[in-house]
Structure 1
Amino acid sequence: MELRQLRHFVAVAEDQHFTRAAERLMVSQSGLSASIRALERELQTPLFVRTTRRVTLTEAGRALLGEAQRILAQVRSAHEAVAAVQGVLRGTLSLGTEQCIAGVHVARLLAAFRRRHPDVEIRLRQAGSGALAEEVAAGRLDLAFAYRAEADTDQLRSAFLNREPMTVLCHPDHRLAAAGAVVTPHDLADEVFVDFHPDWGPRRTTDTAFAAAGVRRTVALEVNDVHGLLDLVDENLGIAVVPRHFRHKRTSLTALPLKDTGEAAYETVALLPPPQAASPAARALMSVLETLPRTEGA
């Protein structure tokens, strides 16, 4: 099994198409097909189900994909480590983040990183915390800024960024705004909620808080964008339970403290692979982060 074959296999799996993968890799389609067939012969199993329009992974292909991506990430890290020893940081920094993550101003951090390491290509992806954790553990991301969902594992470790309570946002004409008091999950049991997808950190924190209080709630309006959430609340279509720093993003809304949530809090971390697997670019980014002031969120 050659690294070239693994690169070919991953490209076809990601593009789900031989022609597009061949164009991306700048190889002939016939050569790419021959490489995949040779890999399948060596493994003695089909890796793709081929149709006239697309290709999909077989069960064996799905099993290979994660390992192949991890191997290629480790090879890339090895090349970058050698370059770092020679005094030049090159390669690629693949970073993931949730929107408006607390504890780090991502754009400012990347600008500072680029000034120090102009030869490193930066790739940024926004997603929910669950997906980001999987991407870092699989080696597809160098690191990610996300919500802490689980304890550290052999494939994933975390570095603390920030911890803050949750706050209720509502329209100024809402009955809660008129009361102007601290609220509990029980006070919100009959409300219409605007919230994020369940994979997002703020949603996970809110679900945990309400579960701890023994209160069931229904999310009627679900979004994947911070400003979309604020717009819905601003039109009085529902209330939102969000990290405290969100209150600065739409000052026209009323913010109310939320209590009686047990130990539930919005805690953000940098998700990293084990130290021996961390890329030089990831280590360099964390070094830059330590020199910058921590923020509530951006």
Structure 2
Amino acid sequence: MQFQQLAYFLAVADTRHFTRAAEQTRVAQPSLSQQIRALERDVGATLFHRVRGNVTLTEAGETLLPIARRILAETEAAYRAIRELDELGRGRVRLGATPSLCTGLLPVMLAAFRRTYPGIELVLHESGSRDLQTELSEGGLDLAMIVDSRVRDDHHLESTPLFVEELVVISPKHEPAPVRGRLAIQDLKDRPLVMFRRGYDLREATVNACRAAGFDPAFAIEGGEMDAVLELVQAGLGLAVVPSTVVGDRFRMTQFTEPGLSRVVRLAFRRDVELTRAARALQEAIVRFLAGEGGLGHLPPGIRSLAGR
């Protein structure tokens, strides 16, 4: 089994097409097909169902897919680590984060990091916690900021708590507050909510809290990502439950009565792959920022740091 064969295998698995895979890997299609057949002989199993106009993975192919991704990702990580031995003035870090973090706290944190390490290239992948953990496990990311309630049992991954983030209710600034003072979960009953798509961490937190209070929430509209939900609330379609860090000065914010709603954000990484120097630098910078060290900024309201504990 050769690294190049695995690269060809991943290209076919991703494109589901031998010709497009050959174009993507810049090799002649007959050569690519020959290498795939050689790989199948090495592993002793057929990796693709080849039906005219339709290429799909066999059970053996599905089994090899995440392993191949990890092998190639670890190989690339090794090359990057060696290239970065001379200095920390260059490098590349692939960071995953949920949409709410990308909208809220993360830009300030990355700006602080960028000022300290201008030569390090940052690649940001925005997705849900579950998808980020899969990509991290398969070697597609170096670090991922995920929500605690969505941390799954994966022996490849390790995570450390960063901060507790308060969840609040937002409404249009030009409209009256939904209640005077703080709002109880029961106050959301029969109030139309702008709701995130299925699989979204915030959707699950809101729906579960309402059901624990004895009712199912009413949706004015559902299916949006973070940016869409904020715009729909501003347009007056309904209320939404969001992290306090995304509110800014665009909305009227109403806090929940104690103990309220909150979530823990964690930083996840591969336990079986050593981080590159650039990735370690970002990891340490995130912890320092949240601990308020080094003049890197201050935390917005609604955040309680757990970093360094």
TM over 0.5: yes
**Distance 1:185-1:178 versus aligned 2 partners, 3 A rule:** closer
**Aligned twin of 1:255:** 253
C-alpha contact 1:142 1:278 (8 A) present in aligned 2: yes
**Aligned twin of 1:163:** 164
Residue 220 of structure 1 and its aligned partner are, at CA, apart by 4.6
C-alpha contact 1:83 1:90 (8 A) present in aligned 2: no
1:249 and 1:52 map into 2 onto residues whose CA distance is: 57
Structure 1 window deviating more from structure 2 (105-114 vs 37-46): it is 105-114
Residue 277 of structure 1 and its aligned partner are, at CA, apart by 3.6
**Distance 1:14-1:296 versus aligned 2 partners, 3 A rule:** farther
Residue 158 of structure 1 and its aligned partner are, at CA, apart by 2.1
1:207 and 1:259 map into 2 onto residues whose CA distance is: 17
C-alpha contact 1:48 1:56 (8 A) present in aligned 2: yes
C-alpha contact 1:132 1:146 (8 A) present in aligned 2: yes
Residue 70 of structure 1 and its aligned partner are, at CA, apart by 0.9
Structure 2: segments with no counterpart, 5+ residues: 290-295, 302-309
C-alpha contact 1:209 1:261 (8 A) present in aligned 2: no
- 2:99 is the alignment partner of 1:111: no
Structure 1: segments with no counterpart, 5+ residues: none
**Aligned twin of 1:282:** 279
The number of equivalent residue pairs is 290
Residue 295 of structure 1 and its aligned partner are, at CA, apart by 4.3
Residue 68 of structure 1 and its aligned partner are, at CA, apart by 0.7
TM-score by length of 2: 0.81
Residue 30 of structure 1 and its aligned partner are, at CA, apart by 1.1
Partner secondary structure for residue 115 of structure 1:
coil
1:67 and 1:58 map into 2 onto residues whose CA distance is: 15
Partner secondary structure for residue 6 of structure 1:
helix
Partner secondary structure for residue 268 of structure 1:
strand
Tell me the amino acid that sits aligned with residue 279 of structure 1: T
**Distance 1:234-1:65 versus aligned 2 partners, 3 A rule:** same
Query: Where do 1:143-158 residues align within 5 Å?
Result: 143-149=143-149, 150=151, 153-158=154-159
C-alpha contact 1:48 1:57 (8 A) present in aligned 2: yes
TM-score by length of 1: 0.84
1:48 and 1:296 map into 2 onto residues whose CA distance is: 51
1:198 and 1:158 map into 2 onto residues whose CA distance is: 24
1:15 and 1:114 map into 2 onto residues whose CA distance is: 36
Residue 294 of structure 1 and its aligned partner are, at CA, apart by 5.3
Residue 60 of structure 1 and its aligned partner are, at CA, apart by 1.7
1:137 and 1:126 map into 2 onto residues whose CA distance is: 16
2:153 and 2:60 map into 1 onto residues whose CA distance is: 29
**Could you tell me the percent identity over the aligned residues?**
33
- 2:297 is the alignment partner of 1:293: yes
2:259 and 2:10 map into 1 onto residues whose CA distance is: 44
- Computed over aligned residues only, the root mean square deviation of the Cα atoms, in angstroms, reads 2.9
**Aligned twin of 1:226:** 226
**Aligned twin of 1:16:** 16
Partner secondary structure for residue 231 of structure 2:
helix
Query: Where do 1:50-199 residues align within 5 Å?
Result: 50-87=50-87, 92-101=92-101, 102-105=104-107, 107-108=110-111, 111-112=114-115, 115-117=118-120, 121-149=121-149, 150=151, 153-171=154-172, 177=177, 179-199=179-199
Tell me the amino acid that sits aligned with residue 255 of structure 1: M
Partner secondary structure for residue 99 of structure 2:
coil
C-alpha contact 1:112 1:288 (8 A) present in aligned 2: no
Once the two structures are superposed, what CA deviation does each residue of 1:219-267 show, in whole Å capped at 9, x if it has no partner? 452244323112211222121011122321523xx221113566x4132
C-alpha contact 1:168 1:257 (8 A) present in aligned 2: yes
**Distance 1:173-1:115 versus aligned 2 partners, 3 A rule:** closer
Residue 200 of structure 1 and its aligned partner are, at CA, apart by 2.9
Residue 54 of structure 1 and its aligned partner are, at CA, apart by 4.4
Residue 285 of structure 1 and its aligned partner are, at CA, apart by 1.8
Residue 25 of structure 1 and its aligned partner are, at CA, apart by 1.4
**Distance 1:65-1:110 versus aligned 2 partners, 3 A rule:** farther
